[in-house]
């Protein structure tokens, strides 16, 4: 499996390899991302599941999002590093945490979601489109239009 990028948890027990670069990368300022990241937001890189290979033991935590969809967060049980998330409404995608990527420059944030929940000390990049909540499901074209304008 030739890789576009690799990643790992802090202790190295969980490794990931992707054959593709992210299709979409977003900063999420929702309460769950803020709390699970230990800072003001999480940065997620969306990829096709079939392009990502993950090795090592993970622990998972499921929590319903505002939409009612279940977000499953995978993290290393040894060091606690968040590695990726899954969303029950987007079963073909995996959302790799930017913090787990070994080559951070492969991550190019394109959009902010839940910007209305961003703490005042977590400045939102004004060059990126910002949605006060999550854009409606199936609105990838709206996001891409905002990214290209």
pLDDT tens digits, one per residue of 111-142? 999 999 999 999 999 999 999 998 876 555 44
pLDDT digits (tens, 9 = 90+) for 61-72: 999 988 889 999
Question: What is the DSSP secondary structure assignment for residue 37, as one 8-state letter?
Answer: H
pLDDT at 147 over 80: no
- Entry pTM: 0.87
The tokens for 57 are: 């033991």
Instruction: Read off the pLDDT of residues 36-58 as tens digits, 9 standing for 90 and up.
Output: 998 999 999 999 999 999 999 99
| Residue 58 CA from chain centroid, whole number | 16
Give the per-residue pLDDT at 67: 84
Residues 1-18 have pLDDT tens digits of 567 999 999 999 999 999
Nearest to 143 by CA among 33, 15, 2, 27: 27
More confident residue, 136 or 20: 20
pLDDT band at 109 (very low <50, low <70, confident <90, very high): very high
Question: pLDDT at position 3, please?
Answer: 76
Rounded Cα distance between 63 and 87, Å, is: 10
Q: Residues in the chain, how many?
A: 149
Residue 58 near residue 45 (C-beta atoms within 8 A): no
Q: Do the Cβ atoms of 126 and 144 come closer than 8 Å?
A: no
Structure tokens at 74: 């995978």
Cβ pair 62, 71 in contact under 8 A: yes
Separation between Cα atoms, residue 76 and residue 79, nearest integer Å: 6
């Amino acid at each position: 499996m030739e890789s576009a990028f690799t990643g790992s948890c802090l202790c190295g027990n969980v490794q990931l390899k992707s054959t593709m670069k992210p299709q979409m990368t977003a900063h999420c300022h929702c309460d769950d991302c803020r709390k699970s990241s230990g800072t003001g937001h999480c940065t997620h890189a969306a990829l096709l599941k079939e392009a990502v290979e993950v090795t090592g033991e993970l622990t998972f935590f499921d929590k319903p999002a505002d939409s009612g969809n279940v977000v499953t967060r995978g993290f290393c049980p040894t060091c606690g590093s968040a590695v990726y998330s899954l969303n029950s409404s987007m079963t073909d995608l995996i959302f790799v945490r930017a913090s787990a990527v070994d080559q951070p420059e492969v991550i190019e944030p394109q959009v902010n979601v839940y910007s209305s929940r961003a703490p005042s000390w977590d400045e939102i990049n004004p060059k990126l489109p910002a949605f006060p909540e999550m854009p409606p499901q199936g609105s990838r074209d709206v996001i891409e239009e905002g990214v290209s304008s």
